């Protein structure tokens, strides 16, 4: 069943593109401000220990992992971006999926832009991170990271809720069939195991003794 009238593919693609560009612009604008206004690698309290600014340039992933293989992160980000664009052009007509994938694409493009255009150069640029919340996690992150993490959680929720890319919902029967395809193919297989063991049990034409 469909919860709402689906979008046309062109409309879904347009929505994804608008949201992606908006997130990309916000991410790059805040990074430009951070580079211009913040001292490198010095904490700047905003709300005490709750929120701080701490400007760093990260060659790796979260917690600076994989610093020596920066190009791998560039390839991974590019692959995710291409995958989302392909879904936008061919599969997505659900509003919820369009919004989530658009925001996710914007976050991916934000960090991919750093990898491609920032020092020390293509395709091993360092990502600009400047947001620190010590009470929550030791990692330092940026606006793009926020959208990547939160939208990945939203993707998982939509999958768990059974909402498909076209806006239809997975029915209980379909979910059970995916878990146990044999029982779905033969719904009467387990209806009466005793009858299967004794075929004359339910035969009214069999005389009793």
Buried b (16+ CB within 10 A) or exposed e, 136-157: eeebbbbbbbbbbeebeebeee
Name which of 49, 59, 33 is nearest 130 in CA terms: 33
130: helix, coil or strand?
A: strand
The catalytic residues are 129, 145
Name which of 62, 112, 58 is nearest 85 in CA terms: 112
The overall longest dimension of the chain from CA atoms, in Å, is: 98
């Amino acid at each position: 069943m469909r919860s709402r009238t689906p979008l046309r593919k062109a409309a879904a693609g347009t929505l994804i593109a608008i949201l992606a560009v908006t997130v990309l612009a916000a991410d790059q604008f805040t990074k430009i401000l951070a580079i211009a206004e913040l001292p490198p690698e010095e904490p700047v309290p905003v709300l005490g220990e709750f929120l701080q600014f701490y400007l760093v340039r990260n060659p790796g992933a979260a917690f600076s992992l994989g610093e020596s293989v920066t190009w791998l992160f560039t390839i991974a980000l590019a692959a995710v971006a291409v995958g989302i664009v392909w879904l936008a052009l061919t599969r997505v007509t659900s509003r919820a999926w369009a919004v989530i994938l658009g925001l996710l694409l914007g976050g991916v493009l934000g960090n991919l832009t750093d990898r491609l255009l920032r020092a020390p150069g293509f395709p091993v640029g360092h990502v600009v991170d400047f947001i620190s919340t010590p009470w929550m996690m030791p990692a330092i992150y940026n606006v793009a990271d926020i959208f990547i993490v939160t939208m990945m959680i939203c993707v998982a929720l939509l999958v768990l809720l059974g909402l498909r890319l076209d806006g239809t919902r997975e029915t209980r029967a379909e979910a059970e069939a995916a878990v146990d395809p044999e029982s779905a193919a033969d719904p009467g297989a387990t209806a009466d195991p005793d009858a299967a063991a004794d075929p004359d049990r339910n035969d009214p034409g069999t005389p009793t003794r």
